[in-house]
Structure 1
């Protein structure tokens, strides 16, 4: 039987069949059950359309041409999904979303890349072991078709990604290609860490789609152990809205992101992306508990990291050393207070929120610094030197070698 199935499917391929033709052939002559194929972003590539039945996955595929976040997250947190995403098995799924209507799930993949997923629903008759075996054969046939661009939209996206990859590699790019990527005045690029868990990495293209959200101004793809992101924007409020969405996703997937400085010349993309990678590296070493690291917060470490360790102590100003000594004896967090005071533009209310103490406590500490320790924190040059000394000390304290 398996030999006959293999011959049928690959004869269909040899006749120039597309994905939909292959699905229809498999449904009519092999499984006699509804079939669905998605890409790696969980968008529908093809499905049989001659069967109507009540199932949330099927209904969303028909109506949305994809799945809602709720459905995707429900399956993501189902331990049965490990078989698909981590073990890459073809199996009968009969719990969770498949409890009422069992279904065969099969990964579509090459040796090093996930292409999509095959789903066969047990509607017209129960699925058996031979159906699982046949699903493995169908998956191999689909793999051949899934390796190329499927839609015009996919082709356009690939061309834009290709242009950006050329820029990242400093290879020649036509000005017209750059112009096609430039809708607004400014760019900012981001380096996102890849999820550590193998299962979570299977959601990488889904994560990318959530970042892009069908925007022509945002581009993203995996690149050299990063998830590369580029946004083209006109006003700061666009950037702020993007930050809100990005930070939510970083928390959800437990990954980190570093941002570059804003820039206007896309031919400089390689250097700004390297900047974003470096910012993320600084942030992960200094503040691993945080998820997002902006260039404006970490740019000082581009300079500090170049200072030889044996010379770093010579850069610590006397006012800073006085505060450190007083903190050591009295445990008053004067250094943290003065640093937060600087970074919050001398706003005591914001400092009290960051340090989780009453604003009167902040005022008391600042008064102590000025009156008892005779350090004039209102002198911006002194304040800057104290903060820079603290950053140097913090850097060397986290990175002893």
Structure 2
């Protein structure tokens, strides 16, 4: 059994994927070109924004926005404490200070009440200038962007939606990657929409920002790549990855999002009353990058994971360590008492096999074994 079965997806779309890759090889247009242009247009249309700017990966997508918005030393950027390292990394990379915020126990996303308290605390201390919020759509579920937008406007902060795991999710029909001042996603292979290497994208309705990002991602180019008007980076999505993504995007729209939610419903039905299962608020749709349950304590979680492994059932712990305890952030004096929920989650969460191609039989194997072990 695969944790996320990319082989099953490839077997289903082998002829289309192989033909798309071969077309790039035949036309030898490996960087840029029609595949990338087509993908950007389709992604922007699906999300519902004017611009999609592809780039090398999801981390650089965030970094490019930090560059465009001139986030720098002395700035405070608010980041959930329970997330992947890169969300805080890009803040420190620019010399700014990440302010980690505890999360909601049910949704795993940033706690908006604690977020506002964190902003007020930074303002009262007067050492840093609050500039930005990076809410994360964790495990496929959009953050509470409605409340976050209210807070951002109140304190005049920019919002960067980190939808690396959230592509395909929505709130009342408004899709992930369309919230905030701009949004980013990742095309890492295991993501809801993944390529066969690294890749990322930025989404925005801001025409001037899109123009600046298209310059920054190609060495700060002006009218052409040999006219360099600013310092930029080299961060382009290659044509083969775009070709693969064009095939996969069609599959994602046609059936994969619905199929992964079918798996969610079956898991939840079978595990009800056995473990704490994911909570999807009314009006929300998750793209289920992960299906994450909660156990009573670390000992129960670790024992369950070990026994599942003995039965050939893969599982993963996202995340074993909070952001505020990462060694890279030891220069900051974070008070562990502010992160009660995150500390608990790191000891109790376990993600089960989850993907659109998971069969009913495989779901039964996972849930039957889990029930027996528990």
TM over 0.5: no
User: TM-score range, shorter-chain basis?
Assistant: under 0.3
Taking CA–CA contacts closer than 8 Å with sequence separation of 6 or more, which of the two structures ends up with the larger relative contact order? 2
**TM-score, with structure 2 as normaliser:** 0.28
